[in-house]
């Protein structure tokens, strides 16, 4: 919808400030450790680890920090103490929310997540209470960089093989390329090697249906989503909110 952005496309608009960089490094390090523990320390044979290393480089994590986090996970030390837990629930105005966490204390984390939902006027739900609304997809945003965005979208239809499950859509002054996770790396490489301006690229949980919010409703939803993202144990937050662009500008 013109004038609105889905939460899946919002994060790239929110700059990482220096005050939060330490927290961001901690979250990225945890993801590196868990990915290495599950799939081994070689990124070439571990898709999840490749994505984690890519994210670490994007946030300018030093190479030594990346390597230490990988070795912790592969060596079964600190990484073995960490547990992945997904929480689901509804935020204000019926916004469906999924929260991926990595924690060394499940009881502490669930209490904190439940409290954040409750304070927002929402509620924490059971497993699969909202997960059915989301699909695991690769999402790549390409800036029009001054070009006509509709022409760029048509051009990318010939450039990227999105497969039967993928799509190419216009979102503001960008084009969003959606592909199955198995096609994600090839699609990103094709766009970067083709000289296109890739704004962001990630494998995420995309909602199949969205809740459109007005300015007041969007502010309440963003308050919850931001508080969840700022929690130390939270790795990713997914929601099916569509938020007015002018509200995003005020918080960006």
Q: How many residues does the chain have?
A: 252
In this prediction the pTM is 0.78
In the Cβ-directed half-sphere of 57, how many Cα atoms lie within 13 Å?
A: 7
Average pLDDT for 184-200: 92
Average pLDDT for 22-31: 83
- pLDDT tens digit string along 219-242? 889 889 989 988 989 988 999 998
> Do the Cβ atoms of 152 and 173 come closer than 8 Å?
no
> Do the Cβ atoms of 160 and 191 come closer than 8 Å?
yes
Angle of helix 21-39 relative to helix 63-74, nearest 10 degrees, comes to: 40
Percent of the chain with pLDDT over 70: 87
Average pLDDT for 129-144: 93
Structure tokens at 116: 């954040």
pLDDT at 167 over 90: yes
Look at residue 14 in the predicted model and tell me its pLDDT.
47
Q: Domains in the chain, start-ordered, CATH in brackets?
A: 18-81 (1.10.10.200), 83-132+209-251 (3.30.70.980), 134-207 (3.30.70.980)
Confidence band of 18 (pLDDT split at 50, 70, 90): very low
Rounded Cα distance between 229 and 236, Å, is 7
Pairing of strands 211-212, 241-244: parallel
Average pLDDT for 107-130: 95
Cβ neighbours for 5, distance < 8 A, ≥ 6 positions apart: 13, 171, 172, 242, 243, 245, 248
Average pLDDT for 188-203: 91
Rounded Cα distance between 239 and 205, Å, is 9
Give 151's strand partners: none
Structure tokens at 96: 């469906």
Q: Specify the higher pLDDT residue, 150 or 216.
A: 150
Rounded Cα distance between 72 and 240, Å, is 35
Look at residue 10 in the predicted model and tell me its pLDDT.
56
Where is 23: in which H helix or E strand?
Answer: helix 21-39
- pLDDT tens digit string along 73-116? 887 655 447 889 999 999 999 999 999 999 989 999 999 999 99
Confidence band of 145 (pLDDT split at 50, 70, 90): confident
pLDDT at 15 over 50: no
> Do the Cβ atoms of 199 and 152 come closer than 8 Å?
no
Q: Specify the higher pLDDT residue, 164 or 18.
A: 164
Rounded Cα distance between 30 and 23, Å, is 11
Rounded Cα distance between 121 and 117, Å, is 7
Taking phi first (over 0 means left), then psi (-120 to 50 degrees means alpha), and beta for anything else, what does residue 231 get?
beta
> Do the Cβ atoms of 84 and 101 come closer than 8 Å?
yes
* Average pLDDT score, the chain: 85
Look at residue 82 in the predicted model and tell me its pLDDT.
82
4-6: strand order across its sheet: 4-6, 241-244, 211-212
Look at residue 201 in the predicted model and tell me its pLDDT.
87
């Amino acid at each position: 919808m013109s004038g609105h952005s889905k939460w899946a496309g919002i994060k790239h608009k929110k700059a990482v400030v220096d005050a939060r960089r330490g927290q961001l490094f901690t979250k990225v390090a945890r993801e590196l450790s868990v990915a290495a523990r599950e799939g081994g320390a070689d990124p070439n044979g571990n898709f999840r680890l490749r994505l984690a290393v890519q994210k670490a480089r994007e946030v300018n994590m030093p190479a030594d920090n990346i390597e230490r986090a990988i070795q912790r996970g592969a060596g079964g030390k600190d990484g073995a103490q960490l547990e992945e837990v997904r929480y689901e629930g509804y935020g204000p105005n019926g916004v469906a929310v999924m929260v991926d966490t990595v924690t060394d204390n499940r009881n502490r984390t669930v209490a904190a997540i439940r409290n954040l939902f409750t304070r927002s006027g929402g509620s924490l739900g059971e497993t699969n209470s909202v997960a059915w609304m989301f699909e695991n997809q690769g999402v790549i945003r390409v800036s029009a960089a001054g070009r006509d965005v509709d022409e760029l979208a048509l051009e990318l239809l010939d450039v990227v093989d999105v497969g039967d499950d993928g799509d190419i859509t216009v979102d503001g002054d960008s084009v969003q390329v959606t592909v199955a996770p198995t096609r994600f790396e090839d699609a990103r490489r094709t766009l970067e090697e083709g000289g296109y301006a890739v704004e962001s690229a990630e494998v995420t949980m995309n909602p199949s249906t969205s809740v459109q919010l007005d300015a007041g409703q969007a502010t309440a939803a963003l308050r919850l989503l931001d508080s969840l993202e700022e929690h130390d144990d939270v790795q990713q937050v997914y929601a099916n909110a569509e938020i007015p662009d002018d509200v995003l500008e005020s918080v960006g």
